[in-house]
Amino acid sequence: MDKLVIEGGRRLSGTVTISGAKNACLPILAATLLSDDRSVIRNIPALRDMSTMLKILKNFGVRAQQEGSAVTVEPHGYKKYIAPYEQVSTMRASVCVLGPLLAKQRRAEVSFPGGCVIGPRPIDLHIKGLKALGAKIRVERGYILADGRNLKGGNVYLGGHFGSSVLATANVMMAATLAKGETVIENAACEPEVVDLTHFLIKMGARIKGVATHRLVIEGVKKLHGAEHSVIPDRIEAGTYILAAAATKGDITLKDVIPDHMVALIDKLTEAGLEMKKIPGGIRVRYVRKLRPMDITTLPYPGFPTDMQAQFMSLMAVTDGISVITEKIYPERFIHISELNRMGADILLEGASAIVKGVKNLSGAPVMASDLRASAALVLAGLVAKGRTDVQRIYHLDRGYEKIEEKLLKLGAKVWREKDK
């Protein structure tokens, strides 16, 4: 198993190109199952999660091949509808094949999904939404068994305890594209990744109104065709490099980003004192003055993203003053606190809030990554810490950050990969 080794204390500067959005690629690849025709999806990053999704597609009898950043999917004639545990268990987003299988094959057997350990993430909204479209669903042996022979349009409300669900919105929307009649999804998620999926479905011939709003109206069609599409940039990867610039007092230009997708993060960091300027096709980030501590609360889009909470905490850990970080999406998503404290941070957990007292310096230490975004937070901490930091279990990082050590090296970091003993 690999680990990432970082010699901290170096100021980052230079240019980094942001990859395609992982959380947009996965449901879009799943959506190719809705057609018999060839589709080409571009700007696909080389990530472990992409490899997993391609394996799942191939398991159904679909031809799927990646060349560079383009994936060609040819689903013609596929008949299988079972997504097995050994594939689905490693990645939560694999559950998004449920809607397309139900719509196209009229049946699906999908194992309960796995992924990062960040607290309970039930799929009750997926099941509720698909049942509202006439699907018969039961759970047996750890599998979701779905019968869609009577799939039809319906009214669906997707509000959950912590807001709307991105993957549930994707699943219900994809199923509705081939359901008979009209479907109305209320309280739909409107994250950029959902919007990108909607644009791809429309290219395939889907009839969808209300794009980028909390109310989607889908008129079912008899057939969808293949399409070509380029995935949006990854706003979470971009945000991570922005925070790396802030933490190391650096100067980084990010290419291939959409600043409008990061309004909450940009607003908070600008308020903290970080200089951020939009440039054609990107953004330049410069540390020009001492940053102020900030309080944030994670919320559904366009609020502050839960996927940036851990990385933001790393920055606040070395920002003088007291910050309060409240997690409203996944209240148990704080496993990284103990690892940051091992490096000298002063963070106290109080319920769903972390009280962060900024310290002057962190010190390098062996740390253990618990999930994808916690991994990124530990990398950021390692970049500013004095001495050597060993980030173990970086297979999490490989799920969501393309060529992270190469990109950091180009920015001036001292970082390399080693086999963990």
Q: Which residues participate in catalysis according to the annotation?
A: 116
Q: How far apart are CA 124 and CA 127, in angstroms?
A: 5
Give dist(CA 127, CA 305) in Å, integer: 25
The CA dihedral of 64, 33, 96, 172, to the nearest 10 degrees, is 160
Can you list the pairs that 64-73 forms with residues at least 24 positions away whose Cβ atoms lie under 8 Å? 64/29, 69/20, 69/42, 69/43, 69/44, 69/45, 70/40, 70/41, 70/42, 70/44, 71/29, 71/40, 71/41, 71/42, 71/44, 72/38, 72/39, 72/40, 73/29, 73/32, 73/38, 73/39, 73/40, 73/41
Amino acid letter, residue 375: S
Tokens representing residue 161 in the block = 């305890």
